[in-house]
């Protein structure tokens, strides 16, 4: 029972498909589940902008205003675009689906590769930056970032294996809590600033060692790079359009509304945080030494500095901000845990991914996908030593690839709609949507180019390699499945062909209950020929012949001499011979098997049977028949339970 129990405790009782309805999400739950990613990204977006500008020294920090403004504009456009998608694709309009329907397989697969990469990065980046929030509050944990991050991913995995509904509950509190404390922070900051208090971040006094002087093109590029880094604020916006089917009816309307709410929250928080960062003169750099601090100093995140400065000596509020920030960030990873398995399952359905990803697990989620995502993210976290700024570099490309493709897809979609010649009012709506998506496509495309230019040398190349690899991998899987399908396809006229003759070979080592059972069974098959087969290892052959006569067995006994004391080889050879000798017959090899109940008993029994079976399956025209003989330790009362899955009826 143990395996089963453990599973239940961790993953919960299985859900009936008929309960799928119950797991549909009201807006108030959908927001935290699908938006924890875009909302939480404001926790680090500002910092990433400042980090880049810091290269140009303190004087360039003011450029953050422009970067932020551009990002806000972009965010509004993208949200507007995806709202169109929610209406156009109530069945879920992920970049993959939209591109597939409007731009063809290649575009779709490109989008898919981008999304898969991004889901993994969402988990990695969010969790790592959540841990950064924690270590900003508890510097002593600074050296355990990798361990903490991996731990959080593991926890998330288990939560998600429990199914989306419970997740919703669990995730609502931190997300709303985060939004709340940030607004409280704005309020207090506003009051204090309005009353003429000058507030400075702890790092305001620190000089920034200027990496270089940026003028002309260099300056533009730096600004563009800052902008590109800030675009992390947009990550995860598409999650909602992906998850429309998970919403309560009216699905599209609710989804669009949730998307709008998310947009408003993101924009306000992002603007607020950026403003305070600049007003408080927060100085952040990738390397503490550039701030004149000793190497390896545990520096605080920009948000942590803002919070500390705002709340002064009211520590409890500061810790509250850090706690909720950490919470929402770790949960942001959950967006991916919802999106990745769903996408993987769609890909599996379309034969671009292994079939296992299509199947649902016991709970109403796609277990395999969840586990796969978790493993990939953990690998990434360990590989990049849980360093946020290095991971961020990989992050944004995929996002904008999928943005651009899905927006372009939408444009094509509306074009098609128009071509059907709808009525005037509908036409106007379509024209409006078309315009919105066109702007979205153009803008995200432009940003993609900027990101590519500015980030390539900073690690983005990794993604630019990973995506084509995934792309080709998926194509390969599809090709394989198609080949197989072709190979096994049958015309409706085809009927099962009964083999002309059936030769049965029973493997025997000595005469005992399992052997007799196997022989009895073999006789019940009423074969054309029945032969008992053995390999003469040492003197066993003679003993066997005697037993044979003792038991007066009327089955002919064929003894194979094995010059190499190798059992499997000669057997295979003989079976192949028999099969070749009578091509339109079927040859069955009956293997009497000892079945033991305890794992440690297994190695005590000759492994020949196992190796033999594996090999026989590759012999054309041969079937393998296992006739198990259950030893006491394997008798049902004991094992049925242990080996029964999580269904009450079994």
Compute CA distances 112 → 94, 119, 199, 242, 370, whole Å.
Answer: 9, 10, 46, 12, 16
Interaction mask 442-481, a second copy, x per CB under 8 A = -----------------------------------x--xx
Sign of CA dihedral 479, 484, 485, 487: positive
Site for a second copy in 477-496 (CB under 8 A): 477, 480-481, 483-485, 487-490, 492, 494-496
Interaction mask 558-587, a second copy, x per CB under 8 A = -----xxxxxxxx-xx--x---------x-
Q: Binders of a second copy: how many residues, by CB under 8 A?
A: 100
Provide, rounded to whole angstroms, the least separation between the CB of residue 242 and a second copy.
20
Site for a second copy in 206-225 (CB under 8 A): none
Provide, rounded to whole angstroms, the least separation between the CB of residue 350 and a second copy.
14
Provide, rounded to whole angstroms, the least separation between the CB of residue 369 and a second copy.
14
Residue with the two structure tokens 């981008």: 114
- Backbone φ and ψ for 123, nearest 5 degrees, come out as -60, -50
The residue (of 422 and 636) whose beta carbon lies closer to a second copy is 636
Site for a second copy in 356-415 (CB under 8 A): 356, 359-362
Residue choice 2, 249, 313, 498 for contact with a second copy (CB under 8 A): 498
Site for a second copy in 150-209 (CB under 8 A): none
Provide, rounded to whole angstroms, the least separation between the CB of residue 550 and a second copy.
4
Residue choice 521, 545, 557, 559 for contact with a second copy (CB under 8 A): 521
Q: How far apart are CA 100 and CA 241, in angstroms?
A: 15
The residue (of 143 and 542) whose beta carbon lies closer to a second copy is 542
Site for a second copy in 597-636 (CB under 8 A): 601, 603-607, 613, 615, 617-620, 622-632, 634-636
Sign of CA dihedral 110, 115, 116, 121: positive
User: Which region among 120-128, 191-199, 316-324, 513-521 touches a second copy (by CB under 8 A)?
Assistant: 513-521
Provide, rounded to whole angstroms, the least separation between the CB of residue 22 and a second copy.
14
The residue (of 205 and 359) whose beta carbon lies closer to a second copy is 359
Compute CA distances 344 → 109, 341, 351, 370, 373, whole Å.
Answer: 12, 5, 10, 10, 10
Provide, rounded to whole angstroms, the least separation between the CB of residue 93 and a second copy.
21
Interaction mask 536-555, a second copy, x per CB under 8 A = -x------------xxxx-x
Q: Tell me how far apart the terminal alpha carbons of the chain are, to the nearest angstrom.
A: 12
Q: How far apart are CA 366 and CA 347, in angstroms?
A: 12
Residue choice 298, 541, 595, 610 for contact with a second copy (CB under 8 A): 595
Helix axes 608-616, 568-581, angle to 10 degrees: 30
The residue (of 464 and 624) whose beta carbon lies closer to a second copy is 624
Residue choice 27, 192, 558, 643 for contact with a second copy (CB under 8 A): 643
Site for a second copy in 28-87 (CB under 8 A): none
Q: Which of 249, 259, 253, 252 is CA-nearest to residue 92?
A: 252
The residue (of 326 and 622) whose beta carbon lies closer to a second copy is 622
The residue (of 438 and 595) whose beta carbon lies closer to a second copy is 595
The residue (of 155 and 573) whose beta carbon lies closer to a second copy is 573
Residue choice 377, 519, 533, 544 for contact with a second copy (CB under 8 A): 519
Q: How far apart are CA 116 and CA 402, in angstroms?
A: 10
Provide, rounded to whole angstroms, the least separation between the CB of residue 472 and a second copy.
13
The conformation of residue 532, written as its DSSP 8-state character, comes to: E
Compute CA distances 189 → 47, 265, 308, 309, 413, whole Å.
Answer: 18, 18, 11, 9, 46
Contact 193, 280 (CB under 8 A): no
Contact 337, 127 (CB under 8 A): no
Q: Is 523 in the site for a second copy (CB under 8 A)?
A: yes
Q: How do beta strands 622-630 and 557-561 pair? A: unpaired
Q: Is 423 in the site for a second copy (CB under 8 A)?
A: no
Q: Which of 132, 160, 138, 124 is CA-nearest to residue 37?
A: 124
Contact 61, 226 (CB under 8 A): no
User: Which region among 10-18, 34-42, 170-178, 206-214 touches a second copy (by CB under 8 A)?
Assistant: 10-18
User: Which region among 159-167, 194-202, 334-342, 519-527 touches a second copy (by CB under 8 A)?
Assistant: 519-527
Q: Which residues contact 474 (CB under 8 A, 6 or more apart)?
A: 109, 112, 113, 347, 352, 353
Provide, rounded to whole angstroms, the least separation between the CB of residue 62 and a second copy.
54
Residue choice 7, 8, 14, 142 for contact with a second copy (CB under 8 A): 14
The residue (of 313 and 526) whose beta carbon lies closer to a second copy is 526
Q: How far apart are CA 162 and CA 179, in angstroms?
A: 26
Structure tokens belonging to residue 241: 């359009």
The conformation of residue 301, written as its DSSP 8-state character, comes to: P
Q: How far apart are CA 278 and CA 46, in angstroms?
A: 10
- Backbone φ and ψ for 537, nearest 5 degrees, come out as -95, 120
The residue (of 314 and 580) whose beta carbon lies closer to a second copy is 580
Q: Which residues contact 572 (CB under 8 A, 6 or more apart)?
A: 612, 615, 616, 619
Provide, rounded to whole angstroms, the least separation between the CB of residue 245 and a second copy.
15
Compute CA distances 106 → 111, 350, 481, whole Å.
Answer: 9, 13, 18
Site for a second copy in 306-365 (CB under 8 A): 354-356, 359-362
Q: How far apart are CA 63 and CA 55, in angstroms?
A: 12
Burial of 456 (0-12, 13-18, 19+ CB in 10 A): middle
Q: Is 637 in the site for a second copy (CB under 8 A)?
A: no
Provide, rounded to whole angstroms, the least separation between the CB of residue 481 and a second copy.
7
Q: How do beta strands 557-561 and 529-536 pair? A: parallel
Residue with the two structure tokens 């769903």: 342
Residue choice 2, 249, 313, 526 for contact with a second copy (CB under 8 A): 526
The residue (of 90 and 569) whose beta carbon lies closer to a second copy is 569
The residue (of 296 and 645) whose beta carbon lies closer to a second copy is 645
Site for a second copy in 108-137 (CB under 8 A): none
Provide, rounded to whole angstroms, the least separation between the CB of residue 465 and a second copy.
20
């Amino acid at each position: 029972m143990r395996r089963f129990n453990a599973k239940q405790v961790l993953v919960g009782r299985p859900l009936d498909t008929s309960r799928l309805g119950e797991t549909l999400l009201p807006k108030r739950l959908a927001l935290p589940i699908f938006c924890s990613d875009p909302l939480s990204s404001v926790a680090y977006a500002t910092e990433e902008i400042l980090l880049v500008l810091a290269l140009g020294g303190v004087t360039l920090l003011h450029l953050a205003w422009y970067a932020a403004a551009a990002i806000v504009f972009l965010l509004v456009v993208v949200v507007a675009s995806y709202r169109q998608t929610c209406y156009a694709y109530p069945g879920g309009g992920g970049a993959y689906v939209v591109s597939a329907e409007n731009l063809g397989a290649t575009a779709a697969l490109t989008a898919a590769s981008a999304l898969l990469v991004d889901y993994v990065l969402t988990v990695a980046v969010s969790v790592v930056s959540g841990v950064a929030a924690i270590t900003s509050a508890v510097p002593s944990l600074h050296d355990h970032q990798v361990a903490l991050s991996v731990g959080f991913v593991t926890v998330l995995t288990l939560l998600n294996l429990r199914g989306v509904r419970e997740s919703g509950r669990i995730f609502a509190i931190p997300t709303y809590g985060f939004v709340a404390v940030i607004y409280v922070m704005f309020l207090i900051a506003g009051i204090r600033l309005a009353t003429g208090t000058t507030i400075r971040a702890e790092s305001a006094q620190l000089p920034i060692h200027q990496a270089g002087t940026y003028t002309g093109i260099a300056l533009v590029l730096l600004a563009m790079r800052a902008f590109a880094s800030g675009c992390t604020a947009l990550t995860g916006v598409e999650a909602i359009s992906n998850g429309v089917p998970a919403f309560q009816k009216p699905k599209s309307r609710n989804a669009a509304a949730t998307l709008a709410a998310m947009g408003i929250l993101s924009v306000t928080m992002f603007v607020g945080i950026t403003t305070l960062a600049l007003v408080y003169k927060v100085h952040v750099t990738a390397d503490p030494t550039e701030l004149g601090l000793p190497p390896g100093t545990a520096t605080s995140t920009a948000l942590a500095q803002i919070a500390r400065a705002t709340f002064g000596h009211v520590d409890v509020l500061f810790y509250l901000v850090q706690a909720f920030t950490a919470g929402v960030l770790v949960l942001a990873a959950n967006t991916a845990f919802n999106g990745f398995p769903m996408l993987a399952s769609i890909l599996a359905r379309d034969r671009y991914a292994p079939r296992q990803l299509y199947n649902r697990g016991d709970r109403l989620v796609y277990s395999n996908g969840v586990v796969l995502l978790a493993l990939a993210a953990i690998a990434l976290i360990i590989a990049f030593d849980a360093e946020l700024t290095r991971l961020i570099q990989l992050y944004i490309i995929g996002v904008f690839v999928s943005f651009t493709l899905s927006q372009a897809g939408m444009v094509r979609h509306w074009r098609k709609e128009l071509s059907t010649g709808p009525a005037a009012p509908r036409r106007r709506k379509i024209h409006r949507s078309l315009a919105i998506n066109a702007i979205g496509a153009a803008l995200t495309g432009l940003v993609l180019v900027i990101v590519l230019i500015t980030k390539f040398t900073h690690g983005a190349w990794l993604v630019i390699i990973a995506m084509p690899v995934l792309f080709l991998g998926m194509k390969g899987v599809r090709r394989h499945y198609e080949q197989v399908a072709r190979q096994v396809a049958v015309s409706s006229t085809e009927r099962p062909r009964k083999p002309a003759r059936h030769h049965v070979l029973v493997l025997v080592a000595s005469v005992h209950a399992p052997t007799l059972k196997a022989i009895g069974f073999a006789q019940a098959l009423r074969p054309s020929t029945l032969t008992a087969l053995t390999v003469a290892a040492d003197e066993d052959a003679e003993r066997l012949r005697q037993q044979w006569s003792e038991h007066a067995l009327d089955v002919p006994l064929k003894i194979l001499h094995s010059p190499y004391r190798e059992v499997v080889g000669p057997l295979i050879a003989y079976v192949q011979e028999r099969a070749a000798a009578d091509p339109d017959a079927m040859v069955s090899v009956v293997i009497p098997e000892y079945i033991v109940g305890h794992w440690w008993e297994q190695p005590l029994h000759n492994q020949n049977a196992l190796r033999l079976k594996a090999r026989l399956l590759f012999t054309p025209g041969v079937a393998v028949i296992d006739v198990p003989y259950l030893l006491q330790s394997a008798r049902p009362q004991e094992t049925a339970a242990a080996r029964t899955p999580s269904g009450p009826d079994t």
